[in-house]
Amino acid sequence: MKNNHPGMSGLSTRSERAEARTEEAETRTEQANTRTEQAETRTEQANTRTKQAEARTEQANTRTKQAEMRTKQAEARNAGAMEIAPKKTGKKRILAVDDNASNTRLVKLYLEGADNYEVREENDPRAALAAAEEFQPHLILLDVMMPGLDGGDLAACIQASPKLKAVPIVFLTAAVTKGEVEAGGGQIGGQTFLAKPIVLKEMLTCLKHHLGG
């Protein structure tokens, strides 16, 4: 039998409307959740881009600091090179190598007193090669008998240096007499020698012979 009761029909309609409103509300909630998720995704993407930009900025700052450091290092090297390079004084540079400091001091005082020479003393034969490469002498006065490294071995090292191979060496030694040196015309074995004790005027004459002036 068909139910035509008006109350039951109205109740069913209200229930259907309530269900429809509930579904609409759920749909709106889902849509809102979707929009929230999309907004969160966009925020995360924006944060990622921000972090990437910060990383690029840090990399750029690092490269800038490295470039500044390289510039400072280059400036320091240039400054060091300027300090190391001998000043152009017009005087002949003489490197005096002898383990006896009183000998090199005497040579320095005498030659610089002549006003034509600049003399550097070196009393450690093991440091003489580096001193010569730095000082760039026009001539080297070299003692033969020295502890740690004798004059012959040191001369071989000096002549093997591209910077120094053309620099004349005058050997100073007490192992030969003045007569022996004079008999060889100042040469022994093709090398220039001065016998010790050194006669300063003879040394000056020898330097003028090699360097002029």
Backbone angles phi, psi at 19, to 5 degrees: -65, -40
* Lowest-confidence region among 41-55, 66-80, 196-210: 66-80
Q: From the centroid of its chain, how far is CA 9? A: 98
- Residue 29, token pair as written in the block: 């909630």
CA quadruple 124, 125, 127, 131: dihedral sign: positive
Task: Return the pLDDT at 126.
Answer: 95
Residue 124, amino acid: D
* Lowest-confidence region among 53-62, 113-122, 143-152, 160-169: 53-62
Q: Which comes out higher in pLDDT, residue 213 or 22?
A: 22
Average pLDDT of the segment spanning 72-89: 58
Choosing among 3.40.50.300, 3.30.70.1450, 3.40.50.2300, 3.90.650.10, the CATH entry for 92-211 is 3.40.50.2300
From the list 83, 115, 67, 109, the residue with the least C-alpha distance to 198 is 109
- pLDDT at residue 1 tops 90: no
pLDDT one-digit tens code per residue, 20-57: 888 888 888 889 888 888 988 888 898 888 888 888 88
pTM of the model: 0.59
Task: Return the pLDDT at 120.
Answer: 97
Which band of pLDDT confidence, cut at 50, 70 and 90, is reported for residue 83?
A: very low
* Lowest-confidence region among 10-14, 26-30, 74-78: 74-78
Residue 133, amino acid: E
Q: Which comes out higher in pLDDT, residue 153 or 43?
A: 153
Q: Which comes out higher in pLDDT, residue 143 or 36?
A: 143
Task: Return the pLDDT at 87.
Answer: 58
SS3 string, the chain, reads CCCCCHHHHHHHHHHHHHHHHHHHHHHHHHHHHHHHHHHHHHHHHHHHHHHHHHHHHHHHHHHHHHHHHHHHHHHHHHHHHHHHCCCCCCCEEEEEECCCHHHHHHHHHHHHHCCCEEEEEECCHHHHHHHHHHHCCCEEEEECCCCCCCHHHHHHHHHHCCCCCCCCEEEEECCCCHHHHHHCCCEECCEEEEECCCCHHHHHHHHHHHHCC
pLDDT one-digit tens code per residue, 84-116: 555 556 899 999 999 999 999 999 999 999 878
CA distance 200 to 4: 147
Give me Rg for the CA atoms of the chain.
46
Which band of pLDDT confidence, cut at 50, 70 and 90, is reported for residue 117?
A: very high
CA distance 205 to 189: 21
